[in-house]
Amino acid sequence: MDIEKLKHHLRYLALCGTLSFVYYLSGRLGLLLAFEQAGVSPVWPPTGIAISAILIFNFRVWPGIMLGALLVNLSIELPFSAAIFIALGNTLEAIVAGYLLIRYAERYPFTQVNHTGWFIAIAVMAPMFSATIGLVSLSMHNLIEASELGIVWSTWWLGDIVGALVIVPLLLTWFRPHESMNDGVPVMALWGTCLVSLGLVLLIFSPWHTEYDPHQLLIFMMLPLLIWTALRFQHRGSTLLVAVFSGIAISGTLAGYGPFVMETPNQSLLTLQASVGAIMVTLLILIASQEERKRVNRRLLQVQQDLEAKVCQRTHELYTSNKQLAQEVTRQHQLGETLKALLNATNSTSNELFLQSCVKDLANAYGAYFAFIGIFSDKTCQSIKTLAVWAGDKVEDNFSYRLRGTPCEDALNHNVELVSSRAAQHYPEDKLLNELEVDSYFGAPLVAPSGETIGIIAVMDKKAMDIEEWVKPVLGLFANRVALELQRQSTHKEMEMAASVFKESAEAIVICDSEDKILRVNPAFYKITGYSQIEVVGQSPQLLQSDGPIQSMIHNREVALKKNDLWQCEVSGYRKNGEHFLSWQTVIPVKDENGDTQQIIYIFSDITERKLFEEHIYNLAHHDSLTQLPNRVAFQLQMNTALERAKRSKTQMAIMFIDLDHFKMINDTSGHPVGDLLLQQVAERFKRALRKEDVISRFGGDEFTVLLSNIRTDNATTVVARKLLACFYEPFKLPSSEVVISASIGIGVFPDNGDSVDSLMMNADSAMYRAKEKGRNCFQFYTKEMNQYAQERLELELELRKALERDEFVLHYQPQFDPNGRIIGCEALIRWQHPVKGLLSPGEFINMAEITGLIVPIGKWVIDTACMQHKMWLSQGYPALNISVNLSGRQFLHHDLLETVSNAITTSGISPSCLELELTESIMMVNVEETIRTLNDISRLGIDMSIDDFGTGYSSMSCLKRFPVNKLKIDQSFVRGLPQDKEDVAIVKSIIVMAHALNLTVIAEGVETLEQLEFLKSSRCEEFQGYYFSRPILAADIEQYLQALADEDVPKVVN
């Protein structure tokens, strides 16, 4: 419950409580006034209080009445049930009386006789409820004898009636704040009436009379006083006097004094009640009739005043009419002279002279010092420029005039503006008025026949102008005539301009009659079509279509003409010389006021070059300039269309995201022209591999996207992906060499992998990265697990960047042995000492390092660390041995590789021959010529090179013999099957024979068993590496092998 509701409830409770308290006090007072012998009161004030409360506060206060009545009944020791019933009767009495008064009279029923009659009748009827219910309750409780029922009921009823008649008018009258008791009455009369009334009442009920005195006759002296009070002081005075009279009468009668004392108490009670009731009824009816009489008098007075006002008004109108009639002759003469001046001005042929004549005649007509005509300076209509100015007795120079805060602005807003005097004071912002000492102003707008306001015309004077009503319309006549002339001049200029446009326009204009026969063509028509006016006049434009200038003029031209509309279209045609051209044509019908076509105008321009340029711009905006494939913008537009079509037809579609493997290395090493040529060849192979309805685009850099629509089988996408990968099986022939590359493909399928362009592209991209991490040269469909994988990949990239800064990488070394078991070298293998995940192998982070480019700084750290470790072993007195380091593809083709290796050797101070760099066969074959150049540069530093994972790539003998390498490392995938797998045996033997033929040393990796070792020895393999000898171990653990080598004591090989 809010504050306002709480306040409302508190006010209601306070009202009901106050009413209960007042009711209880009045009830106790009524009991004090009761006749002891009769047992009842002659006046029961609570009845009047209850009815008044209902009329003033409405029916919602009945709980207060009920509670007050219950308290009064309990105070005289009635049983509780009897007290409840009597209280219900009292409450019902007030509610019934209030309802009937509101229904048939009003809440203040004392201003009309019929309403007062209703009040008296209801005051007599309503107490019957209270008396009847009360007597029944007393009888049921055996509190009254049956013989007394009649007299008690009548006394109760009369007491309530008197209470209602006395108290209700008193309270309602005094609750009306707008009514005064002494309006128009002298104060002395008021106080005199009060003193006389009080003295007379005291005299009537004084104890000094004897039974032989005629004091009963004194009661009749009250009647004139009561009537005087009612007529003089209205309701308030009358009700107050009756209340005082009733109180004193009851007190006197109780004491045995006054005219109402009879033989028995019951007779005294009835006489008192009847007298008080009769007095109150008489006064109420008298006052109500007086109120009605006053209302009638007021209405009659108002009618009289209205008639007198109408008579005065008609008299004034008659006087004004006669005055205007007297001035009519003078007006006609002066108006004739003014119109003569306007007619003389219209005879002028020169525009300038016409306007100057107008301002002169206008100034003379009004006897004004200044007159001017002005039009708006621009479309904003914030200022005007004058066309003619008259000052004194001559024409003055024109000027510009800002309208804000001037009388001209008001004239434009109000159609006319007259400032008869003190114009400069009325418009302080208008500096012109002060400069010219203008005191009065009269202006009107210039309105063209079209209804458009185009300017203003005004007269001004240095003294006050007293312009009569008859001469004011003259300014409007001048304004209309000037506006008409200005409109005529404007139309004339527009016609001249139209003729000039027709002649000088760069667009061809053809004017035809209503029969569509050519009447006239402009020079541009000849320039565009080659046809002269003589050749086409009288011809139909449709006939010219077959000859070329306007092929297909407008196929639905008739429909456009019927709608009174212009019609536009692009038309293809041929010039007179047979040359093809494109034109943009507009057809405009010219109709009369009846809607009939009078002329048809054709306007067209040559847009041939523009269309070619637009096609070129469109091609640039939607196609890749290098490959001529659709670009990203065009692909996304087609994606949106295809996706909507797939949703409607409920078919599948797929997006492939293709990234070329190791393209950046080729681009960086061979140069952008070579990279561009490679991209063009890739694009051509893609286009040959795809269907016509498939969409291939270059997404950017070395990325391509493919859109497959209307996929009907699950295997269709796989087939296309394999066809795209097959495009890379053959080397790409570039100007300087052949290049072998591969691609990684990610695939997203609608609706399984997304229902929007963005989601499908994002998921296909994630699948592409997954394909790269699986080893490249493959395709990968998107799965839901890739979202988590992508998040892990992002986290790995962030941690990988921090790992290099925090020096979290360590090197493990796997020793390499000769056939006699003597250590001859070791391979440096990187590990990541992750602070949370522990020691991580290269397979868990090298691919990410390769993708992000972090492999370059990581590879530099490996070379530097390996060289420094070798230096440390030398400083400890151990013999020198070879340390081999793996190079990634990106590191090998990086521009600062030679500098990195050279600095590592120089800084560590080791011999270059102690460092061996390993490069996989697949990387070496990406760009053979560039690989040979880089290998030669490394060899010149004195560093040995080894081909790692030999047998897994695509190197040919012609390329292999050109590589300046020293060693071949047989891939462990071939060693694993020895000596049982015949194919592995054949491959290994072939590699060893080939290497020896090329004077290359052979090392086998992944040797894990004695059988493998014995077979390799028998096949003349020179060096060995694998778990059979040792796992990759820390640098400190390598020292046992170095110590044995120094002691020429080969330790037993631990499997």
Over the stretch 877-912, which tens digit does the pLDDT of each residue have?
888 889 999 988 788 877 788 999 999 999 999 999
578-591 mean pLDDT: 82
999-1009 mean pLDDT: 92
pLDDT for position 504: 74
- Residue 37's pLDDT band, with cuts at 50, 70 and 90, is very low
* 180 vs 416 pLDDT, higher one: 416
pLDDT cut 70: percent of the chain above it? 80
* Dist CA 302 CA 283 (whole Å): 29
126-138 mean pLDDT: 85
- Residue 1055's pLDDT band, with cuts at 50, 70 and 90, is very low
121-126 mean pLDDT: 84
Residue 78 and residue 143 in contact, taking contact as beta carbons nearer than 8 Å = yes
pLDDT for position 1018: 92
* 69 vs 297 pLDDT, higher one: 69
Residue 112 and residue 288 in contact, taking contact as beta carbons nearer than 8 Å = yes
Q: Which of 29-33, 357-361, 383-387, 793-797 has the lowest mean pLDDT?
A: 29-33
Confidence check: pLDDT of 139 > 90: no
pTM of the model: 0.41
Residue 732 and residue 702 in contact, taking contact as beta carbons nearer than 8 Å = no
Confidence check: pLDDT of 779 > 60: yes
Residue 83 and residue 70 in contact, taking contact as beta carbons nearer than 8 Å = yes
Question: Which of these, 770, 836, 767, lies nearest to 799 by C-alpha position?
Answer: 836
Cis peptide leading into residue 207 (ω within 30°): no
- Residue 658's pLDDT band, with cuts at 50, 70 and 90, is very high
Amino acid at 510: V
Query: What's the count of helices (H) and strands (E) in the chain, helices before strands?
Result: 37, 28
pLDDT digits over 325-347, tens only? 555 545 455 455 555 555 554 44
**Which among 241-245, 411-415, 653-657 has the top mean pLDDT?**
653-657
Token pair in block for residue 369: 């010092």
| Domains of the chain as residue ranges with CATH | 3-295 (no CATH), 348-495 (3.30.450.40), 505-612 (3.30.450.20), 623-783 (3.30.70.270), 798-1047 (3.20.20.450)
Q: What is the 3-state secondary structure (H, E, C) of 505-520?
A: CCCEEEEEECCCCEEE
pLDDT for position 1027: 93
* 960 vs 203 pLDDT, higher one: 960
135-164 mean pLDDT: 80
266-295 mean pLDDT: 67
CA atoms within 13 A on the CB side of 1032: 15
Confidence check: pLDDT of 67 > 80: yes
- Residue 848's pLDDT band, with cuts at 50, 70 and 90, is confident
At how many degrees (to 10) do helices 149-174 and 127-140 cross?
Answer: 140
292-315 mean pLDDT: 76
Read off φ and ψ for residue 910, nearest 5 degrees. -85, 170
384-411 mean pLDDT: 87
* 580 vs 836 pLDDT, higher one: 836
- Residue 96's pLDDT band, with cuts at 50, 70 and 90, is confident
Q: How many CB atoms are located within 10 Å of the residue 998 CB?
A: 13
* 112 vs 698 pLDDT, higher one: 698
Confidence check: pLDDT of 266 > 70: no
Confidence check: pLDDT of 945 > 50: yes
Torsion, Cα 251 255 257 261, to 10 degrees, reads 90
155-179 mean pLDDT: 75
Cis peptide leading into residue 735 (ω within 30°): no
- Residue 740's pLDDT band, with cuts at 50, 70 and 90, is confident
Report the SS3 class of residue 828: strand
802-806 mean pLDDT: 87
pLDDT for position 181: 47
- Quote the Cα angle for 356-358-362, to 5°: 120
989-1018 mean pLDDT: 91
965-992 mean pLDDT: 89
**H/E stretch holding 325:** helix 265-346
Question: What does the DSSP 8-state code read for residue 544?
Answer: H
Question: Which of these, 522, 527, 528, lies nearest to 608 by C-alpha position?
Answer: 528
Helices (H), 459-522: 473-504
Token pair in block for residue 674: 């070579």
Question: Which of these, 64, 23, 80, lies nearest to 31 by C-alpha position?
Answer: 23
* Dist CA 855 CA 900 (whole Å): 13
| End-to-end Cα distance, the chain | 89
Mean pLDDT score of the chain: 79
pLDDT digits over 1013-1046, tens only? 999 999 999 999 999 999 999 988 888 888 887 7
